[in-house]
A and B are shown apart, each in its own frame.
Chain A
Amino acid sequence: MLRYTLRRLLLLGVTLAVASVLIFLMTAVLPGNVGRIVLGPFASAEAVAALNAELGLDRPVLVRYWEWVGGLLRGDWGRSLSLDTAVLPLALERLGRSLVLAGFALVLLIPVALAAGVLAGLRPGGVFDRCASVIGLVLGAIPEFVTGVLLIVTFAVVLGWLPVQALPPDDAGVIEWLQHLLMPALSLVLLLFAYLFRMTRAGMITELGAAYTRTAVLKGLPMAVVIRRHVLRNALLPTITVIGAQLGWLVGGLVVVESLFRYPGIGSLLQAAAANKDIPLLAGAALLVTLVFASANLLADLVYAALNPRVRHALGD
């Protein structure tokens, strides 16, 4: 297990290095021009050239990459080209916020979706199964900018129960934080519910029909014990992989939810950095997201291994 973890961590380093090269190469072909974007369409060409030179953008992309890597190794993540600030504190603050939102969404999502999936899987085709499946599919098909607007209009504009914006004031306590985050988290839950629910349900159905389950039932174990001790353990394995994969998206990919609820996280930071061709910011933020994504997958794999002795043994423990 330890060797496996170390190997995975090494692989993570390689992933990050490759990702950083790709990010830099990509920015070389992105449309637009930083100087023009900052100074606006009506600035003179000389001024734009002057700004680009001041930012060092007139040099080849490989030279800039080399300098960026050098800075990174010294702990200097560089300065954003378009936002008058250092990359690392900004990206970390945004990442922290995104993690909080993703965590809150998962805390709401996982128990509900798993419980519903288990219940539905126990009686496939039953009333509960049908209702949950249809509702989940419908909600999952509605994009988050629609559910988000519906939530805001209902709970913030008409009822006035929840704040319109997700960004809480600086002095907000935990309760106030959660109040602000409830709607954006809910819109994510609605989007992801069907996916997780169906994975769990399918896992339950498969495992309930498996030979070992029948054996357990026939040898006289009570149903509750069969489900808890045998079925769930196996049925949840694919679900854990899915959750790990969703975490990356929940942290780094939430542009729409972040702008709609005005919750500046790392997703919108990445999007703005790409639109502005702000290479140090884009590269730094993307690196952080890659790190989170890869760590989430690693974590999911480790949990998977912990739950599944076959994998554990295969890893040579």
Chain B
Amino acid sequence: MIHRPHAVLPEATDLRRRRLLQSLGLAGIAAGSGVWPGLLRAGEHGGQAARRGGTLRVALPMADSIDPLQMSAGGSIAIVQQVAEYLVWAEDDLTLRPVLATDWAPRNGGRTWIFRLRQGVRFHDGREMTSADVVASFRRMVMPDSPSAASAQLGFLRPDGVSADDRYTVRFELDRPIGAFPYYTHIYNAVILPEDYAGDFADSPIGTGPFRLVDYRPQEGAVVERNPDYWDSPRPYLDRVELSLYDGSQPQVLAMQGGAADVMLGAGYIDARPLFDDEDIEIVAAPTARHRQLCMRADQPPFEDVRVRRAVALAVQRPALIDTLLGGYAALGNDHPVADVYPLAVDLEQRERDLAEAQRLLREAGAPNGFPVDLYIGRVEELPQYGQVLQQQLAEVGIRVNLQIEPLNVYYDHWTEVPFGLTDWVSRPTPDQILSVAFRGDAEWNAAHWRNDDFDRILERFQAEPDAGRRSELATRLAGILNEEVPAMIGYFNDGLRPVTRQVRDVTGNLSNYLDLTRAWLA
């Protein structure tokens, strides 16, 4: 299956699909209009001309630092993304839109990448954006001993590997071929900042973005105003965007209900439920690769025996998880992170619940009566409830789960050490970005401590491969190994839910929960 089909589904049979179709097109317009969502996407405004002006109010989750080099909180990222830009933007269907780069090409079998930059783009302080700025921005992220949130994802790039061929051409020499490298320039930290950026974004927020930061208050929010010199004129259409930070999702939901916010960056299903019945609010849903990994330490008992790990995967009732925890807003997982949303055809049989087989495997592994085990979970979104459902489901094969639900910062302090942990993984535009940091033998976030040399070799070929057909074939093999060996049980892929009010146009969902407001307008 290549994409989630923009398919001919009987109207009203499946709420979730219908909402997905709506959202893949435009919030609020596709519904019931009888027009194909696909067609709506082609014409940017669904036939209506974008209206200039107005203030959009966006509710964001709490953020800490907005330094682009260090930021990791969703709220910080959404603020920075209005002010500074990437070389490319991955759309919600994973096509790449040229932003600060106009085109790019691999050389040398994907080991070298040449990016041509857009000419005449100006930073907010009037200086022209050139290759020197791009080179400096990438070097900053991969400099050794640099407090960079992105360095872990760019392990194949060295500071001297990025250089300028001329004023508008940047060359990346990678340690090894990376077939999907353009997607890596869309890591959330990889915004292009001036060459002389000094790490003080809150005080001197200079980017090339559609909006200028005019006010920023820690833990309160930011106000951005239209950049009149934006390179992609006449965009943006909005005059002003108020990005407000909220502590927790309930205040955000109340703000949406009470008309104090027009867009909520992202909502978990449980929190957003009151908004589903609200006439004035549309839920823009987009399939993502966001998922939860139930990691089992493969280097110590009880999970060192692959039969035990497989038994866990077989004992889980996945459709029930999706219905109970997410009201159906998720896609089935098959114990590997290559979600359906990726443009890859993974041909693998879906694992289904089989208690008899699970019990047989446990018997063979010498644990006919199961065993007790501590399951560590960070308190975020539906994860605590997920733990409770797992507790019930695994009890049916004798695995007695003792839940250790912890605050997130406590969990993240030892999540790669615990024997049995449930971790929330964000969506990334390519599956390599997850596979290589979570499952490669020497990867830092290999919480299962699982190692398979075949897997590592195939992964390296997959990462290097630019051809779509061969990527699919390799992805199938990688997924097959993970499905067979189960270092982590992956039950589902969450849909991204983005509530917007009805007068908001052209705010799409996003695989990575990024926020692009260049095309947004208010009806």
What's the least CB distance linking A261 to chain B, in Å?
7
Give the A interface residue count (CB, 8 A). Answer: 49
Whether A44 contacts B151 in the complex (CB less than 8 A), given A84-B200, A275-B409, comes out as: yes
Residues in A with CB closer than 8 Å to B257 are 153, 157, 164
B64–A38 contact, CB under 8 A?
yes
Interface residues of A in 47-61 (CB under 8 A from B): 47-48, 50-51, 53-54
Whether A259 contacts B246 in the complex (CB less than 8 A), given A39-B70, A42-B445, A268-B219, comes out as: yes
Complex: A101 Cα to B445 Cα, angstroms: 45
What's the least CB distance linking A277 to chain B, in Å?
8
Closest B residue to A36 by CB, please name it: B412
- The yes or no answer to A179 lying at the interface (CB within 8 A) is no
What's the least CB distance linking B241 to chain A, in Å?
15
Closest A residue to B255 by CB, please name it: A164
- The yes or no answer to A213 lying at the interface (CB within 8 A) is no
What's the least CB distance linking A274 to chain B, in Å?
10
- The yes or no answer to A156 lying at the interface (CB within 8 A) is yes
Closest A residue to B223 by CB, please name it: A170
Given A83, A165, A269, which contacts B260 in the complex, CB threshold below 8 Å?
A165
A262–B219 contact, CB under 8 A?
no
B258–A39 contact, CB under 8 A?
no
- The yes or no answer to A173 lying at the interface (CB within 8 A) is no
Residues in B with CB closer than 8 Å to A152 are 254, 258
Whether A38 contacts B65 in the complex (CB less than 8 A), given A31-B409, A54-B147, A84-B202, comes out as: yes
Whether A46 contacts B151 in the complex (CB less than 8 A), given A152-B258, A260-B250, comes out as: yes
Complex: A53 Cα to B250 Cα, angstroms: 36
B201–A42 contact, CB under 8 A?
no
B218–A157 contact, CB under 8 A?
no
Residues in A with CB closer than 8 Å to B407 are 31, 275
B202–A149 contact, CB under 8 A?
no
Whether A82 contacts B65 in the complex (CB less than 8 A), given A51-B70, A262-B246, comes out as: yes
What's the least CB distance linking A272 to chain B, in Å?
6
Give the B interface residue count (CB, 8 A). Answer: 48
- The yes or no answer to A163 lying at the interface (CB within 8 A) is yes
Interface residues of A in 64-100 (CB under 8 A from B): 80, 82-85, 90
A39–B64 contact, CB under 8 A?
no
Interface residues of B in 29-76 (CB under 8 A from A): 62, 64-67, 70, 72-73
Residues in A with CB closer than 8 Å to B254 are 149, 152-153, 156-157, 164, 260
B149–A85 contact, CB under 8 A?
no
- The yes or no answer to A222 lying at the interface (CB within 8 A) is no
B72–A43 contact, CB under 8 A?
yes
Q: B-facing mask of A242-286, CB < 8 A → 1, else 0?
A: 000000000000000011111010001100100111000000000
Complex: A198 Cα to B257 Cα, angstroms: 37
- The yes or no answer to B148 lying at the interface (CB within 8 A) is yes
- The yes or no answer to B5 lying at the interface (CB within 8 A) is no
Q: Mark A residues whose CB is within 8 Å of B.
A: 31-33, 35-48, 50-51, 53-54, 80, 82-85, 90, 149, 152-153, 156-157, 160, 163-165, 167, 258-262, 264, 268-269, 272, 275-277
Name 29 interchain pairs, CB-CB below 8 A, sorted by A.
A32-B410, A36-B413, A38-B70, A41-B72, A42-B149, A42-B152, A43-B152, A44-B151, A46-B144, A46-B145, A50-B146, A80-B218, A83-B65, A84-B66, A84-B67, A84-B218, A152-B258, A156-B254, A163-B258, A163-B260, A164-B255, A164-B258, A262-B246, A264-B219, A268-B219, A269-B219, A272-B219, A275-B407, A277-B409
